[in-house]
Structure 1
């Protein structure tokens, strides 16, 4: 509000004067007043200011609990969890921060994955989650313990502890013992533990043709040493191959025989052996090499001669020193008998027969099977290269197209016989895993290896039990027909639930 006032005079002045004063007044509404609004009405409410954006937070990651495995178990399912305000924006990554190299993740960019470990050891694994700006991480530890190996004795476990059905194991044992009154002893090992046994596992039994598979260790060692290959010509290493009889030379085939053919029954020699140089007598060469699968003890004994000159050493000494001693097998547990079909020495070296001739306890048989199950490794030491074990247990492509000389007694031999071992690679035993393989001799001496079930089975009986009239173990005359094995191996395989 404006006002004007004029003052005419000022006391004490000598001359009259006049002033004009301009007043400016400001009015402010208070209390119940208003400033131009409707009298008595409160002011309109004001909207609150917007809340500040939440502070960015890193993902909260939980990689899961620590794990413990026992070799050969080497895979684990990993399932992490992540908390975040915007989970759709997250990316994930699994990686190894400590441990042996070679770990593989099935899906390293997902919160759930499967991890595979290459060997025993302690591994630290990290799971990282990122939203593009911030990331979170957590770790877990996986301990892969070494496989369990026997020392003087085997660690024992019940069938239930090894997820096996004892009733089915009873069924297999009853077949082994009672069929044709075969009797004998046996044991079943899973995950390195003695799960089931019958008879006396320390008694030595004649191995008969199971000798072939045990003797394959010498062949594997020659491969490992680089002194022999399957494709090598046998006569180049053993010039006397196939003679006597001298008539074998006339065939023109001897120089074409390979190490592989001797080891796969495709060299062409007759089955029975028996060298008699004085009378120019010996196993005839019946078939052109590489054309016919014909079960031959003579061919395997020629292979034994070839290995003897290759090592320039008694094969028993080779196996004892390089393998059996480490396995805890002595000559009280396994030994070669004196030869039955060949002279006792070859070029001044003790001579062995590979077709037959070993005696072994069930315990020793199981230890050999366990060495093969563990791919040539024993308590941290690689006694046989894994590649050589794989070669022995795998049927050879070159054999697949050969004809079988005796298909009645050896059905499917070209599809299921490998290098001195029998296999189920063609699924002939429908309820036994196809990766199963075994040594098999007269009287049904068996060393069975089933990698996918982590199983070893050993079984044998006395030759007195198989040499009676019309009896030979489970069969009336041994042959390579798997039908005789099915009642024994099938319940054992089916006993495993996990």
Structure 2
């Protein structure tokens, strides 16, 4: 991306792979937030202390500013707003509703080919993000359960789904923005091949290929492992 965001010695080493694995270590400021935002105001109970930057690809950190930079790079690549891409390429083909919204920040607008376009955020920490109902989430999860295929059409390549759900890099049990269970630390009582998308408030799309199962669980402070274990117990003979 030749927009200045990757010109520094630190950032010019960042790859797409680093971004999707949250190991980019990108440095800078975007939409009024710096990469090293820390403290109780931003993280609450998860506040963290300042630290030295590492080489891109060598250190994992869940970081909204870096994901926002990733989203901006994707916008420049597609040259159209990502909500439009998502709608055309995924949500309409899987029969999603028209109620979901992918909301940008009030100031996250850039010019692409002479036109102002919103750059959406990766999370909802500062008011943007994906607002979506449970049934649409389930459809998205089912697309991955079926290895990217919907009604006979391959919307996402099977190879991409495999890579996205395979652990790699220095991070925790993590794929391409999917939480994995390879080590059975996340959910010890369910298959190691299961994986999940997890958002604010334990908003979860959990996928269990071994049992041909997708579970959407929203806004609950309980124990996901316990819920998944009970579901499996209920459906198994």
1:95-110 equivalences in 2 (<5 Å): none
Name 1:218's counterpart in structure 2.
none
Name 1:492's counterpart in structure 2.
231
Q: Distance in 2 between matches of 1:238 and 1:446?
A: 35
Q: Distance in 2 between matches of 1:445 and 1:497?
A: 25
The structure-2 alpha-carbon separation of the partners of 1:441 and 1:238, relative to structure 1 and needing over 3 Å to count, comes to farther
> Deviation at 1:238?
4.5
Work out whether residues 203 and 217 of structure 2, in 8 Å CA contact, stay in contact via their aligned partners in 1.
Answer: yes
Q: Distance in 2 between matches of 1:282 and 1:430?
A: 36
Work out whether residues 305 and 346 of structure 1, in 8 Å CA contact, stay in contact via their aligned partners in 2.
Answer: no
After the TM superposition, which of the residue ranges 378-387 and 364-373 deviates more from structure 2?
378-387
Q: Distance in 2 between matches of 1:253 and 1:269?
A: 7
Work out whether residues 416 and 426 of structure 1, in 8 Å CA contact, stay in contact via their aligned partners in 2.
Answer: yes
> Deviation at 1:319?
1.1
TM-score by length of 1: 0.40
Give the number of equivalent residue pairs. Answer: 214
Structure 2: stretches of 5+ with no match in the other structure: 37-51
Work out whether residues 443 and 474 of structure 1, in 8 Å CA contact, stay in contact via their aligned partners in 2.
Answer: yes
Could you tell me which of 91, 105, 110 is aligned with 1:339? 105
Q: Spell out, residue by residue over 1:71-120, the C-alpha distance to the aligned partner (whole angstroms, 9 max, x if none).
A: xxxxxxxxxxxxxxxxxxxxxxxxxxxxxxxxxxxxxxxxxxxxxxxxxx
Q: CA RMSD in A?
A: 2.3
Q: Distance in 1 between matches of 2:211 and 2:71?
A: 33
Could you tell me which of 336, 345, 351 is aligned with 2:119? 351
Tell me the SS of whatever aligns to 1:293: coil
TM-score by length of 2: 0.81
Q: Spell out, residue by residue over 1:211-263, the C-alpha distance to the aligned partner (whole angstroms, 9 max, x if none).
A: xxxxxxxxxxxxxxxxxxxxxxxxxx2433268xxxxx3xx211111111111
Higher helix share: 2
The structure-2 alpha-carbon separation of the partners of 1:300 and 1:346, relative to structure 1 and needing over 3 Å to count, comes to farther
| 2:15 matches 1:258 | yes
Tell me the SS of whatever aligns to 1:443: coil
Q: Distance in 1 between matches of 2:109 and 2:193?
A: 38
Work out whether residues 194 and 206 of structure 2, in 8 Å CA contact, stay in contact via their aligned partners in 1.
Answer: yes
Q: Distance in 2 between matches of 1:346 and 1:298?
A: 20
Name 2:149's counterpart in structure 1.
377
> Deviation at 1:451?
0.5
Q: Distance in 2 between matches of 1:293 and 1:346?
A: 31
Q: Spell out, residue by residue over 1:287-337, the C-alpha distance to the aligned partner (whole angstroms, 9 max, x if none).
A: 3212211111111111101111111111111111121111111331x1112
Name 1:300's counterpart in structure 2.
67
Q: Distance in 1 between matches of 2:201 and 2:180?
A: 18
